[in-house]
Amino acid sequence: MKITILKERQTNEKRVAATPDAVKRFIAAGAKVTLEKNAGLAAGWLDESYKEVGAAIAATPATALKAAEILLCVNAPENIEELPEGILLIGTLNPYANKEKLEKIASKNISAFALELLPRISRAQSMDILSSQANLAGYRAVIEAVSVGAKVVPMMMTAAGTVAPSKVLVLGAGVAGLQAIATAKRLGGVVSAFDVRPVVREQVQSLGAKFIEVPVDKNEAAETTGGYAKEMSEEYKRLQSELIATTAKTQDIIISTALIPGRPAPRLISTEMVESMKQGSIIVDMAAASGGNCELTKLDEVIEHKGVIIVGYSNLPSRCAGDSSSLYARNLFNFISTLMIKDGAITVQWEDELIKGTLLTHEGKIVHPQFLSTSSAA
């Protein structure tokens, strides 16, 4: 069994799909592991640290891929045509944005697994790449806000006077939002949070934040069966906009995390809202890669609009690449070792619901129900 890890080539990507610890675990499970030269360097791991645990280092991608059976990735590879036919490709494949790549992957007879599609069930928690990366992204969002701002977060009482604590509003109380709340509270901020799902109120309050909400019609579901926030009615959106507009005026920092899987990010912060905010206040738009929650967000830029700073980084986990890579690599190891390896050989449990839920392409076709319409062969 041969596992390969290539250097990530996406702009602003510093993470790596396997750390030395993960490689050690794979080798103990009976695998041979090869990494492209400097694959882990941006995340803080030298080639020597991989060699010490038994991995081989290849000078080029082609050499690393020679005889590969499993390719692990953080992002879908750009060089699909160079991948060996029939391999297993496992990672974050972003199929909603990479529909053309799916056809190419299928044409190479590659069995591709997008782990962001894992069913949200208890036994998948140790494999949940979305949660592990969102946790770090939520933490990093607050750090980015603090780093570009001119105001401290905690209350400070000095002989020269008292500095009031920063007011922080978090839009969206999923994994990233809850971590942003926890981080802002640890730093001493006065935190409020908004979410369309009333069910998260207790989680928000347990972290010491105030939960603000629009009353939801009992007949209008606020989340999908998978636990994600869903798009709400036009009347709800109007009330939501009014609530956010009123609250934003008093905030020093806004962290926006709202996403709807497979859809553009909901627009929550208008230009008018931004212009109503205090001079020096900050917005960190964690949905920048999906179009942004803020109307003025510019992808991968930090801009200023009438005294308000707007941060639009698309890859916050990469900005703490060491820890995010460690968690990501453990997620991949747990998925592979549980569902694909038996007695040191590849034995995929094709009927398992976790395999079925993540399998995008197999035997020359796109097979995932959500993406069948993209395949002429389906």
Query: Both 42 and 14 in a single domain?
Result: yes
CA dihedral in degrees (111, 357, 78, 130; nearest 10)? -140
Residue 49 lies in a domain: yes
Query: Both 29 and 171 in a single domain?
Result: no
Residues with catalytic annotation? 120, 125, 128, 131, 228
For the record, the structure tokens of 151 come out as 């105001």
Query: Both 145 and 7 in a single domain?
Result: no
Query: Both 298 and 366 in a single domain?
Result: no
Residue 330 lies in a domain: no
d(CA 74, CA 77): 9
Query: Both 221 and 358 in a single domain?
Result: no
The pLDDT value given to residue 219 = 45
Query: Both 99 and 200 in a single domain?
Result: no
Residue 327 lies in a domain: no
The pLDDT value given to residue 99 = 82
Supply the DSSP symbol for 200. G
Under 8 Å between Cβ of 289 and 314: yes
DSSP string, 264-290: PPP--B-HHHHHHSPTT-EEEETTGGG
Strands 161-163 and 156-158: antiparallel
Under 8 Å between Cβ of 159 and 174: no
Q: Which domain holds residue 207?
A: 135-319
Residue 82 lies in a domain: yes
Number of domains within the chain? 2
What does pTM read for this prediction?
A: 0.91
Residue 224 lies in a domain: yes
The pLDDT value given to residue 375 = 47
For the record, the structure tokens of 315 come out as 């890859």
Query: Both 202 and 245 in a single domain?
Result: yes
d(CA 85, CA 284): 42
The vertex-104 CA angle with 98 and 105, nearest 5°, equals 85
d(CA 9, CA 79): 10
Query: Both 155 and 292 in a single domain?
Result: yes
d(CA 164, CA 252): 11
Task: Please compute, for residue 39, the number of CA atoms within 13 A of its CA located in the half-sphere on the CB side.
Answer: 31
d(CA 285, CA 265): 10
Q: Can you name the residues that pair with 338 across neighbouring β-strands?
A: none
* Blockwise average pLDDT, block size 10, the chain, 378 residues: 96 97 97 97 98 98 95 94 96 90 94 96 96 98 97 95 97 97 98 93 97 72 54 82 95 95 90 97 97 97 98 97 98 96 91 97 94 57
Query: Both 304 and 344 in a single domain?
Result: no
Strands 345-346 and 341-342: antiparallel
CATH number of the domain where residue 51 is located: 3.40.50.720
Query: Both 8 and 50 in a single domain?
Result: yes
Under 8 Å between Cβ of 296 and 310: yes
The pLDDT value given to residue 105 = 95
d(CA 110, CA 145): 41
The pLDDT value given to residue 378 = 38
The pLDDT value given to residue 295 = 97
Query: Both 221 and 166 in a single domain?
Result: yes
Residue 129 lies in a domain: no
Residue 259: what residue type?
L
Query: Both 186 and 149 in a single domain?
Result: yes
